Homo-oligomer: A and B are copies of this chain.
Amino acid sequence: MADASDFLTRGREVAGKLWGTRAGGQELPAQRLAPEFFALVTQFVFGGFWARPELDMRSRSLCTVAQLAALGRTDELKAHLAGALNLGISRAELIEVLMQTACYAGVPAAVQALNAGADVLK
């Protein structure tokens, strides 16, 4: 079993592929309020799940974009659309994922996602 420093190392590696060494962009108010939370997230989300070899990163990125669009999480959606572009997923593919959200989460969810993505994808 991996030890925790492995989780952190692997998590930072995954985040670096998505967003470079900046690892996610400008500092959020939440990061000043609860810095330990973000260390846990890097370990668990990126080191514990994303770093597993059973699924390629392109597929993980598309699925993440799809879920964030369906759940209406626009801030994370913007960050992961930028990450998806960094992985080489095309603008047209990402627009298509956001459009298809209408089928499973309703038209307003897709409109909200397309509005959120407009700056990143234009």
Contact = CB atoms under 8 A, between A and B. Distances in A.
For this chain, the copies found in one complex come to 6
A90 to B, nearest CB: 9
Contact of A28 (B29, B102, B111): B111
B70 A103 contact: no
A96 B30 contact: no
A108 B93 CA distance: 23
A107 B102 CA distance: 9
Interface string A70-89: 11110110000000000000
26 contacts: A2-B4, A29-B114, A29-B122, A30-B111, A34-B99, A36-B99, A37-B99, A37-B110, A40-B44, A40-B102, A45-B103, A49-B100, A63-B66, A66-B67, A67-B69, A67-B70, A67-B101, A71-B106, A73-B104, A73-B106, A73-B112, A75-B112, A102-B106, A104-B106, A104-B107, A106-B106
Given A4-B4, A76-B108, 8 more contacts: A29-B122, A40-B48, A44-B48, A55-B97, A62-B66, A63-B63, A73-B106, A76-B107
